[in-house]
Each structure stands twice: as C-alpha cells, then as structure tokens.
Amino acid sequence: MRILLLPGPSKTATTHVQSFISENAAFFHENGWLWPPCPHSLGHASSGGFANFLKAVIGEDCDAQTCISPRDPCTSKYVEGDAASVRSFYKKVLSDASDASAGGTDVVIGAEHFSAVGGPLGPRIFEGLREILPFDGRLMPEKAEEGDGLETVVVVRFPRAAQLRSIFSQHASVPKGRPILFDGSFAEWLCSYFSMSRITPNPLRLAAAFLDEGVKVTVVEMGAVGRDIADSIACEVMGLPCSMGMVDGIAGDRGRHNVRNNSTMGTDGYFDEALENILEAMDCFYYDAFVKNVQSNGNNIKIVHQYRLFKNNCEGVFPIDQETAYAAMKNLGCGFNANKSVKKVTTVSKSLSEADSSLQTTLIAYLVVGNIFVLGLMLKSFKSRTSCRVQGMIFPSRSR
C-alpha cells in the first residue's frame, strides 16, 4: 500500500493540485487512489479538507478560533471532534484502505502545512504519523514491497525568488473577513516579517527531513515540467493512465486554482538576482546529501524535470544553511528599504589583479544592500586569494 503525502511547500501550486484531485476524486478512486473523506464523514474531502489534518496528527484540538480555512466544509468536522477522535477516524480509514481482502487501495493526502516537517515540529509530526499509518508504528511496512509505505512529493519553484514574492503577496493581500497580515513593501517584509513567519521557501530541507526518516521522496522542479503539474504528479508519481502527459479520462481543460505565472519577478532585477543567488546557495547546501542518498539508496529519491536545480552540480557555489540564508535575505531587505535601491555588484574576475581593483567597489555595493553574510564570504575569499565568479557574486572555491 502506498500513502502519498503532498506537502507543497506553499506557493508551488498546492491548491491547484489539491483541487485537481478532489474534484476528480471518484475517477482517482476508480484508478486505485483514495482521496479520503472529511473526519467522521463519507465520500471525499474538499480540496482544502486536510488543512487542519496536521493539528490532529500532532494531537492539538481544532476550535473555531485556531482552525484554518474556516470556509472549507471539512473544517466544522475538525471542530466538532477532538484530535484523538480525528486521529482514530483516519487510522481506521487508512487501515480499511490497506485491507487487501477488500480490494486494497492507495491513499493520497494534500496538505501544505505538512511542510512543517522541515522545522521544529518534525519529530512530533512523524510520531503522530506512525500512530495513524497502518504499519504497526512505522512509516512503512516491516516487510515492504517496492513502493509500499509513506512517500512524498516536494515541489521546487523557479525562479526561486518568485515563490518568496508569492508568499509576500498573500501576506500583503486582504483576505475576506480577516485582517491583513503585513502592510508594507516586499523589502520591508523581508526585513521585518519574513523571518518570523512559519512559511518556509526551503523545499530541500523539507525533502531532507523525509529522507532522514527513510521516506521515499520525489522532487519535482515546477518550472521545468512543461505541462500542468497536477498531470505530472498523477502520471509520473501516482502512475495513472496518461497520454501526451495528461491523465486519460479527465477533460483537457485544466482549472487553474491559485496558480500565478511562476516566472513572475519584481521590478528591480538586481534585488531579485541577489535573492536568487542566496536561495541557490541554500539549495546547494543539500547537494552532497542528495547525491550520497542516491548513491547509497537510489530508490529513495528521484528528481524529475531537473533543469535549474543543482545547476552545474553546484560547482562554484558556496553552500549555506537555512539560518544563514534567511539572515542574508533579511539584511538584503533591510538594506534595500533603507537605500531604496540595490547597486549592481561588480563582476569579479578570477584574475587576482582584477579582483584587487574591483574589491572596494564590490564591498561598497554589498554594504549598501546590507548583505552582511555575503560581505563576510567576500572578505574570506579575498583573504584566501581563491575565488570564483558566480552571477556577479564572489564565493570561495568549493572543493569536492
């Protein structure tokens, strides 16, 4: 039995994929995939029906004040039952689905709030999943056939900065009946709000958290799919019958639910280029771990439609962890907000003489934007006299 969890992360067409599956739930069920019902209900959940599922998994009750998606028809079912009863309900649903004597079926659940697996809640989430899944306290059967157990699809959106701007747009818009989350510019949001928000644009940390638990991960590069990403997941991951990259039996027209043009960027190219460089360096932090995982257990991770992710095998890019990357983005936003512009970074040649002559200009440029992290790396590079040019930024050479 396969149990496929779709955690996003946020702003990677999660609502669209959930709507695609829920609106065609009967078709998916006929083809061996169950989109489960709301708690204590029959049929199939709505597209946002699992928005509060995470609370039940970690043992938190859902009330009218704290439940998300109050307009979703499934939310009232979470409010009416406590966390224990919701967990018991889904434990039975999954157990029944795994019953081979009753025909057996695979299960798919879409809830972007499970992207919290990549953060401090991760251990609690996995503990709760072990209790609910029908694998005797494990994330997969003790004697699993190939493909059995929990698995996940993690989506990486390019340009990477476009995901950040979409998260900001959601925070800066006025939801119906709810107060605006942030009133200010994108740079001000990066400077003062982003680091405090619980939404993360770090899909590879999310993927790594699942891999650490032995969960099979498929990484999909959203911008390189070349067709509807919902079809890509249904055809290439779930194995539904497809022709020309589209699911057979579902009408060709695809309703685009909450999907922005994934090439949308800001009006200041230098600002977004600096963000792309920071996010690329954060992505490359996970490169070695992913490569080693593929080498040791190639069945546990797959990257489909790879184009810009880990470009050139991250050669010439100095990898940074999430904490450092978030600090760099905050400094970038604070500096931009203070100066209202970002100066183009002088391209630094590998030639030491050219590096010497351009260093002062480059340092001033990054002082203006407040990117203290990159400034520190540049000083380290200059001191060691070993540097590489990466899209106008200077990083220490990376040896393998």
Q: Concatenated DSSP letters for 30-52?
A: HTTEE---STT-SS---TTTTTT
Shortest CA distance to 187 belongs to which of 393, 346, 341, 375?
Answer: 341
259 vs 235: which has the higher pLDDT: 235
Can you read off the two tokens belonging to residue 313?
């095998």
Q: Quick one: average pLDDT of 57-82? A: 85
Shortest CA distance to 279 belongs to which of 204, 186, 169, 386?
Answer: 204
Can you read off the two tokens belonging to residue 209?
């958290």
pLDDT, tens digit, for every residue of 271-299?
888 999 999 999 999 998 887 777 776 67
Residue 197, pLDDT score: 62
Helix (H, G, I), strand (E, B) or coil at 395: strand
Q: Which residues are CB-contacts of 198 (< 8 A; sequence separation ≥ 6)? A: 116, 119
228 vs 337: which has the higher pLDDT: 228
* Most confidently predicted of 241-255, 312-326, 375-389: 312-326
Burial class (CB in 10 A: 0-12, 13-18, 19+), 360: exposed
Residue 255, pLDDT score: 56
Q: Quick one: average pLDDT of 165-176? A: 78
Q: Is the pLDDT of residue 90 over 90?
A: yes
Q: Where are the beta strands (DSSP E) in the chain?
A: 2-6, 33-34, 106-110, 149-156, 216-221, 242-243, 246-247, 301-304, 388-390, 393-395
Pairing verdict, β 393-395 and 388-390: antiparallel
Q: Which residue, chain included where needed, has tokens 């800066």?
A: 172
Q: Which of 45-59, 88-102, 133-147, 254-268 is least confident? A: 254-268
Residue 246, pLDDT score: 92
Helix (H, G, I), strand (E, B) or coil at 394: strand
One-letter amino acid of 147: G
355 vs 374: which has the higher pLDDT: 374
Q: Is the pLDDT of residue 327 over 60?
A: yes
Spatial separation of the C-alpha atoms in residues 342 and 54, rounded to whole Å? 40
Q: What mean pLDDT, rounded, does the chain reach?
A: 79
Distances (CA, A) of 395 to 159, 172, 320, 353, 362: 21, 34, 11, 17, 12
370 vs 347: which has the higher pLDDT: 370
| Strand partners for 279 | none
Q: Quick one: average pLDDT of 136-161? A: 88
Q: Which residue, chain included where needed, has tokens 């050669």?
A: 315
pLDDT band at 169 (very low <50, low <70, confident <90, very high): confident
Residue 221, pLDDT score: 93
Asked if 346 and 362 touch (Cβ cutoff 8 Å), the reply is yes
Q: Is the pLDDT of residue 65 over 70?
A: yes
pLDDT, tens digit, for every residue of 191-214?
888 766 666 679 999 999 999 999
Can you read off the two tokens belonging to residue 381?
């590079």
Q: Is the pLDDT of residue 381 over 50?
A: no
Percentage of the chain beyond pLDDT 70 is: 74
Spatial separation of the C-alpha atoms in residues 72 and 45, rounded to whole Å? 10
Q: Quick one: average pLDDT of 18-43? A: 95
Q: Is the pLDDT of residue 359 over 80?
A: no
Spatial separation of the C-alpha atoms in residues 58 and 121, rounded to whole Å? 8
Distances (CA, A) of 36 to 25, 32, 54: 9, 12, 15
Which pairs from 228-235 meet CB under 8 Å and 24+ separation?
A: 228/20, 228/254, 229/13, 229/16, 229/17, 229/155, 230/13, 230/16, 230/17, 230/20, 230/21, 230/254, 232/304, 232/305, 233/6, 233/17, 233/153, 234/20, 234/21, 234/28
Q: Which residues are CB-contacts of 346 (< 8 A; sequence separation ≥ 6)? A: 358, 361, 362, 365, 392
Say what the alpha-carbon torsion angle 262, 265, 269, 273 is, to the nearest 10 degrees: -50
Residue 371, pLDDT score: 47
Handedness of CA 318, 276, 170, 17 (dihedral sign): negative
